[in-house]
Amino acid sequence: MSVDVLVLGFSNLVADGISMGFGDFVSSSTEKDVAAKERAVTAWDVTNHGGNEQEELLRQYQALGMDISDATTVVNIFAKYKDIFVDEKMMAHKGILPPDEADKPWKNGLVTFVAFLVFGSAPLLSFIILIPFTNNDSIKFVGACILSALALVLLGMAKAKIAGQNYGFSTAITLFTGAIAAAAAYTLGSVLKNVAGVQD
C-alpha cells in the first residue's frame, strides 16, 4: 500500500508540477507579448497622432479628478519624453503595464515548478519517514495530514512576508483553503471508489 502511494504520489506530483510550471511560463510569455504589442501600437499612435494622444491623456487625468491646469502641465511634461509618454499612455488609457525586459517567463515557470514540488511533497514525506516505524496506513495518513498542515503554515507565512500581510490572517486563509481542497479531493476519491466498486 505505502509503495503504491509513494509511486503514484510522486508521479502525480511531478506531472502536476510540470503542468503548473509550463502553465505559468505560457501565461507570463503571453502577458509579456501582449504588453510588447500594445506598446508598439501606442508608440505608433504617439508618433503619428501626438496631439490626439495628448488630448486623450488630458481627459483621462481630468476624469480621475485632476485639475485641468495640473493635468495640462503633467501631459506637457510627459510629451517631452516619448518613452515615458508611451508608457504612461498605456497605463492610463489601456490599463496595461509596459513590458519588463528583466522579466524572464522561464524563471517564473521554474519557480512555480520547484515550489509545487517542495510544498506538494509534504504529504508523501510522512509515508517515507514512518516506513521504518509502522505499517499502519491510518497512522501514515494522519502523519501526511500533519505535514501538509505544516507546509501550508509555512506557505502562508511566506506569502505574508512577501505581500506584507498579517501573518496570522495569511496562515489561517492558506490553511482553510488547503483544508477545503483536501476535503474535496478526499470526498471525490471516496465517491469514485464506491462508484467503481474498488475494495481496500
103-117 pLDDT, tens per residue?
A: 788 888 898 898 888
Give the CA-trace dihedral at 185, 186, 188, 189, to 10 degrees: 110
Is the pLDDT higher at 76 or at 190? 76
Assigned C-alpha cell, 6: 509513494
Assigned C-alpha cell, 130: 514512518
Is the pLDDT higher at 30 or at 10? 30
pTM value?
Answer: 0.67
Q: What Rg value do the Cα atoms of the chain yield, rounded?
A: 26
Q: Which DSSP string corresponds to 98-133?
A: PP-TT--HHHHHHHHHHHHHHHHTHHHHHHHHHTTT
The whole-angstrom separation of Cα 26 and Cα 140 is 37
- In the predicted structure, residue 158 carries a pLDDT above the cut 80: yes
- Angle at Cα 119 formed by Cα 125 and Cα 30, nearest 5°? 145
Compute the 3-state secondary structure of the chain and give helix, strand, coil in percent, each to the nearest 5: 85, 0, 15
**Any residues with CB less than 8 A from the CB of 13 and at least 6 apart, and which?**
116, 117, 120, 121, 124
* pLDDT, average across residues 163-185: 87
Q: What is the pLDDT of residue 5?
A: 66
Assigned C-alpha cell, 71: 493635468
**pLDDT tier, 75 (very low <50, low <70, confident <90, very high otherwise):** confident
* pLDDT, average across residues 137-159: 83
The whole-angstrom separation of Cα 25 and Cα 160 is 24
